[in-house]
Amino acid sequence: MSTAGELSQQPSGQRSSLEWLRLWFLLRDPVHRREYALTGFGLMSLKYIVEFATVRVLTGLTYTPLDFVNPLISAREKFAHGAPPWFGYLWVLWALPFLWIAVGMSVRRAFDAGISPWNGLWVLVPFLNLPAMLILACLPTATTSAAGWTDDKRTRDKSLKANDVAVTVKAAIGGIAIGALYASVLTQASVYLFHSYGAAIFFGTPLVTGVASSYLLNAKRSHSHAASILVAAAAIFFFGIALMLFAFEGAICIAMAAPIVIPLGIAGAPIGKFLADRRRKLRGGLIGALLVLPMLTIAESYLPPKNEFVVESHIDIAASRETVWQNVIGFAKITDPPEWVFRLGVACPQEARIIGQGVGAQRHCIFTTGEFLEPITVWHQPERLAFDVSEQPSPMFELTPYRHIHPPHLDLAFRSTHGEFELIELPDGGTRLTGRTWYTLDIRPEAYWTIWSDWLVHRIHMRVLTHIKQLAEDRGANS
CATH code of 425's domain: 3.30.530.20
Instruction: For the chain, 479 residues long, give each residue's pLDDT as a single digit of tens.
Output: 444 444 455 555 567 888 888 889 888 788 999 999 999 999 999 999 999 999 888 888 888 888 887 655 555 666 766 677 677 667 777 887 888 888 889 888 988 888 877 778 778 766 778 888 999 999 998 876 555 555 444 444 444 444 455 566 666 677 677 767 766 676 666 665 655 566 666 677 788 788 888 888 888 788 888 888 988 888 888 888 777 766 566 677 788 888 888 888 898 889 888 888 876 444 455 555 555 656 666 665 555 556 788 999 999 999 999 999 999 998 889 999 999 888 888 889 999 999 999 999 999 999 998 999 999 999 999 999 999 999 998 887 766 655 565 566 666 678 899 999 999 999 999 999 999 999 988 777 777 788 888 999 999 999 999 999 999 998 765 65
Radius of gyration from C-alpha coordinates of the chain: 27
- Reference 285, options 295, 297, 271, 275; nearest CA is 275
Q: Are 463 and 348 in contact (CB under 8 A)?
A: yes
Query: In Å, what is the CA distance from 437 to each residue of 113, 341, 460?
Result: 54, 19, 10
Residue 28: per-residue pLDDT = 78
Same domain, 245 and 288: yes
Q: Are residues 327 and 396 in the same domain?
A: yes
Is the same domain home to 127 and 267?
no
The answer to whether residues 296 and 312 belong to one domain is: no
pLDDT at 200: 63
CA dist 85 and 311 (Å) reads 11
Omega before 401 cis (within 30°)? no
d(CA 182, CA 179): 5
Q: How far apart are CA 445 and CA 73, in angstroms?
A: 7
Q: Into how many domains does the chain fold? A: 3
Q: How many residues are recorded in the chain? A: 479
If asked whether residues 90 and 179 sit together in one domain, one would say no
Domain closes at, from 245, 269, 304: 304
Helix (H, G, I), strand (E, B) or coil at 239: helix
Type of residue at 156? R
SS3 431: strand
| 8-state DSSP, 402 | S
pLDDT of residue 408: 60
265 and 387 assigned to the same domain = no
Evaluate whether 201 touches 187 at the Cβ level (below 8 Å). yes
In this prediction, residue 221 carries a pLDDT of 80
**Same domain? 262 vs 398:** no
- Are the C-beta atoms of residues 388 and 410 closer than 8 Å to each other? no
142 and 163 in one domain? no
d(CA 258, CA 241): 12
Tell me which residue range forms the domain holding 285: 158-304
Domain C-terminal end among 99, 123, 150: 150
For the chain, the distance separating the N- and C-terminal CA atoms, rounded to the nearest angstrom, is 83
The reply to whether 211 and 269 lie within a common domain is yes
Q: What is the dihedral of CA 445, 451, 457, 459, to 10 degrees?
A: -160
* 133 Rama sector, left if φ>0, alpha if ψ -120 to 50, beta otherwise: alpha
The last residue of one of the domains, among 257, 282, 304, is 304
pLDDT of residue 349: 94
One domain, residues 326 and 466: yes
Taking phi first (over 0 means left), then psi (-120 to 50 degrees means alpha), and beta for anything else, what does residue 334 get?
A: beta
How far apart, in whole angstroms, are the C-alpha atoms of residue 422 and residue 313?
Answer: 10
pLDDT score recorded for residue 424: 96
150: left (phi over 0), alpha (psi -120 to 50) or beta: alpha
Verify that 21 and 136 share a domain, yes or no: yes
Same domain, 239 and 164: yes
Neighbours of 42 (CB within 10 A): 11
- Taking a C-beta distance cutoff of 8 angstroms, is the pair 200, 297 a contact? yes
Q: Give Dmax (Cα) for the chain.
A: 92
CA distance 72 to 302: 10
Please choose, from the candidates 13, 4, 51, 50, the residue with its C-alpha nearest in 3D space to the C-alpha of residue 31.
4
